[in-house]
Structure 1
Amino acid sequence: MSADAREAPDNPYVEDPPTEFDPVDDVDETTAREQAEQLREAIRYHDRLYYRDADPVIPDRDYDVLLSRLQDLESAFDLDTDGSPTQRVGGEPLDEFDTVAHVAPMRSIDSSGDVEDVREFDRRVHDRLGLSRGGDGVENGGSEGQASLDAYAGASVDYFCEPKFDGVSVEVVYEEGRFVRATTRGDGEEGDDISANVRTIRSVPLRLRDDYPEFLAVRGEIFMPREAFQQYNRERVERGDDPFANPRNATAGTVRQLDPSVTAERPLDCFFFDVLKSTHQFETQHQRQDTLPEWGLKTNDRTALVDDIEGAIDYRDELVEDRDDLDYEVDGAVLKVDDLAQCDRLGSTSRAPRWAYAYKLPARTEETTLRDVVVQVGRTGRLTPVALLDPVDVGGVTVSRASLHNPEQIRELGVGVGDRVRLERAGDVIPYVAEVVEGDGDGHFEFPDACPVCDSPVEHDGPLAFCTGGLGCPAQLRRAIEHYVSRGGLDIEGLGEQKLDQLVETGLVESIPDLYDLTVADLADLEGWGERSAENLVAELEAAKEPPLDDFLTALGVPEVGPTTARSLARTFGTLEAVMDADEEQLREVDDVGETVAHEIREFFDAERNREVLDALRERGVSPESIDTETGAALDGLTFVFTGSLDGLTRGEAQDLVERHGANATSSVSGNTDYLVAADGAGRSKLDDAEAEEVPVLSQAEFEELLAEEFGIDVADALDDG
């Protein structure tokens, strides 16, 4: 999903943010205030994607740089930090769950991948505890951070080291040994009540054992084991679903399911690593670690107690060497002062404890291990081999799958399960396996002779492979229907993944036209449906019988025809019948349609099976809206970009308006842009781009005047007609 689709602010620190800044001393106060406000806005946006949506758009390291820059600006210029992300852990509870206050704050911890920052953390710990040479209790006379490591030789600070898990943090509360509730971290003070979901995780005990305390609130990390993640992704790909990008995304999406039965089906696990509040008293971190398993709480065994910061650094370096062999994802090592009395003396800031630090692991390179190859069946029956990988950072994006394109490429690469491979990204979009680095796997992958879903024979057309099962293949049928009702198609609400599977499996829907034969009685009898949800879906389908022509063309799943091409076809031909009857020469005259696309369109509408589906849809009253092609061409050839908040209409309505009259509406300014319409709050970057490309900039009033005087289009009337 693009940042635009998530209503990203027009802000330089949202997409591909800079990670190098001018020194704070070289920045004037006005610039500092402007930059700080932009950083706050961007960090809140990234917090929302990371903590609430579990769908970040920048790497953790870039986020850390932005947050550090904001902290530096606020400190150097004494800026007001009320409500700043530097004062709170990011994230807001979801509306669908009850909001619950934590029994104790669930703070974040400071972090860095630089070893000198870790040593500086150790210096601060010693200074705050008043420990100096030989541990004699006399404070070091030098300024904080300037004393050498030698000055602390013999100081009594032990560190408890543990992996920093890359999962979902959770607070779990027990009273009288019984599970009471589980809550996400949320904003650090309160989170979402996900008790029903966490109850389904087998490693979370519903009752404690042995001599447990009367009250216990523990912090844990829910995660999906790597081996289970790969198997689960394989199952998703085989049934035609997109695989999860990485185990953390899979975990975050699972614990936020409204249906606990979905969570129960997914392979989640949990490590417990901290006590937030308890009637049992502890003296050290490692004592907590040893005691939690006695009460039945699962802990991680990859921990260590070391007697100085160099030992902690060594621990992290060993974790780097071994992380590919672990069955869970880690992104750092957490170093904690072991003595809890010392932790109390060190205290915390509003955001993070002063007694803990995360020494981040370096990002993985483009090399990783190929764990499995699974064959995905598309809407058209094409079989596409997909490599399932150990997650790896490729160009700032975490990748866990890659295309192998076709059987011929597999043979050329000689790729096998267990091989070490190098990845590249084509056009910065879908990653693919470029080469085998170490071929020490279980042998080369053999492409199947039968469809993995329906067992029909596989036919080869040059380098490509196709299932011959047609709509008799459940994967092709399901994916065709799924696309038809999806947001990219007719946007039919109430038909999610599970409900669609249910309709196909029960035989109620065997083709797209069957959707319009569904009755309230059919649906209300199914498990998980009620009278109201059944009535809503039937009403949605009835209302969608006269869809916009371009939406209908997109929903049909014509090969190579996406929303942009569908709009061009609709504007050019005006009716479904005209599109269906157009020959290849007529099709090639349409914008966005070349020789290959024209051939695909003609072949789709010539196919007897597709004609039967279209005839069946029309028999059920499906009649896409016609478009006045004369009206539609008034703005033909022009390209508009909109920025800011328009008065009286949304940006989407403005884009639809110009597109209905033949223009293109894009999200970024380029040399092909004819006009930038800049309303209140217009983005500075788009204005700068317009100046650089010499693109005319119009106010909303000037835009409406241009349409009225030059093209005879009254905006108010056009909106009413639309």
Structure 2
Amino acid sequence: MLSATQLEILSKSLQSSPSAQPERLETIAKQTQASDLADEELLAFLQICNNLYRSGEPLISDNAYDSVFLAELEKRHPDHPYLHTVEAEKSFAGKTVTLPQRMLSTEKAYSKENIQKWLNNIEKAALELEIDPVTLLFRATPKLDGFAAYDDGKMLYTRGDGRKGTDITRVFERGMIVGGSGKRGLGAGEIVVNQTYFNAHLADTFENARNFQASVIKEKELEPHALEAIQNHAALFYPFSELPDWQGSSAELATDFEAIIAKVHTLVDYDVDGVVFEVTDDRIKHHLGATRHHHRWQIAYKSNAETAQVIVLKVTPQTSRSGRVNPVAELELTRLSGAMISRATAHHYGMVKEQGIGEGTLIELTRSGMVIPKIERVITPQPPQIPDHCPSCGSNLVWDGDYLYCLNTSQCPAQIENTIEHFFRTLANNDGFGGKTIEKLHANGVNSVYEVYQLTLEQLITMGFRSKDGKNQVAQNLLDQLRRSRTEAIEDWRFLGAFGIYRMGLGNCERLLQHHRLLDIFSLKIDDIILIEGFAEKTATAVVECLALIKGDFMKIYQLGFNLIQTSLITEQQEKTSQIAGKTLVFTGTMIHGKRDDMIKEAKRLGAKVGSAVTGKTDLLVTGADVGATKIAAARENGVLVISEEEYLTLLG
């Protein structure tokens, strides 16, 4: 069954063919061959699938799209325009502009044999140019699964249809950085989100990274989670030329193919859906050129994502730290991509309800390489399994949108244990307080972070924290780590973030403490917080409410005495006396007198705004050594004052 989000995307589409009807789409999506589809319906289905995929709500797997439906069109009409047209990315608000350089798709291969054919064509081209094929160097990089974009140093464009894209330079103005060397103007790349960060902070809200990436690009004011990811440098633009890679000869590629694929997949902590191979010799690139769809000197290898039809045994609810109850599908034991799979996330109970996931549901499960197993689609729905009570404490659950929540925050065991674990994990200056330890502590009556800090050696020994030889070292180690967590210096914003305040990730905690002292924040009103950049009314309201709820626990823990590094305040006096207060700065080049990150922090402390791209809103471009011509040209074009690092330091006095 199509999800509500997919149906909404379809309703906004201009397509009105019969194949766009949900029931017909579901029928076609289940097919393993497309020979019975009329040309018009086949083409419409491909366009719909591409639209849903680019919107972050794929209807079928990449493999099915390529090997079943696209292959059928190619078989019937090898010269069909759709096969030779760049598949358009989703449109975003902003002016449509011609790209500085065409952005093509990449030819795909699903077998080693296809890669070998491509290598043979490269060798043939080398011989035609009288180049010894043995001397050729090949490069392999991760195929990022993000949003394709092009950076010319002045503007960032979406790929669009390959010729025209949308101006989304606003993402740099919001603080997005460039991966690799950090330099602008390096051409094509992708907007991606760090996979570890996504799993830890965003997976409860977004079904996949592509959904989240779309939220980063949108024109309107960003939601806190999106702004947080940008400011934590978890969401960024990564130029293809800067990606870590494998390089070697065609002989090495043919001999160590599987090992190279496995290695390249692990080079970055972003979603990767294949490996891109290219020959590095510019003479051969020029000789081979490109089709209207792809460069002939480049190819993407995509592992066939294994799929299996599996019966759901039951749907198990799990309560998180926030009280959100998440569904986990317990499956018949199935081998996929070399691993035995028994569980898969159903994301949220809205999905369970809409798609009919319960005992006996037949689903299609996919997994490629090291990717987490995913429910690709529901084949045979059954009555959904929706819990009425929290699996941890038995309290009644309430709906909030697609999600179920347990509101028994103070007595729910799962919320208590997850809250304690979150505290110590966020402090990040201690060891030993993982899930198993905290579960054991809670089983022995420890219900809060404060109670953990009150434990004695004798209590821990009584709870069973001792080594196999009967010694008390395990208990003593835990006490040592508790002492370490209080004496080892940490930032006050990290300490605040450890309390898990709703809508207050570490970035928002730091911004709040740049304007107010830690102990003053509990007396703040909504209007006080709205004045801070990045805090909308909805967020400010939630923060004030949550601060009131945690004040008692916070003060008890704070009074235990932690070694907190105080965040520098952006005071009114600093804003009055600073020569850069209220101005927008951009730093470029290699700084001699300090790290660029430190200079950016100091500028913000003095009341300035810091961007990464020169625009008409920029007041000063501060230049270090090895400055590229692009930013200088942009400054001249926009009438921006350019000063050296030395002049900047003199300006600050």
User: Under TM normalisation by the shorter chain, which class is it?
Assistant: 0.3 to 0.5
* Structure with larger RCO (C-alpha < 8 A, sep 6+): 2
Larger Rg: 1
- Structure-1-length-normalised TM-score: 0.42
Q: When the two structures are superposed, what TM-score results if normalisation uses the length of structure 2? A: 0.46
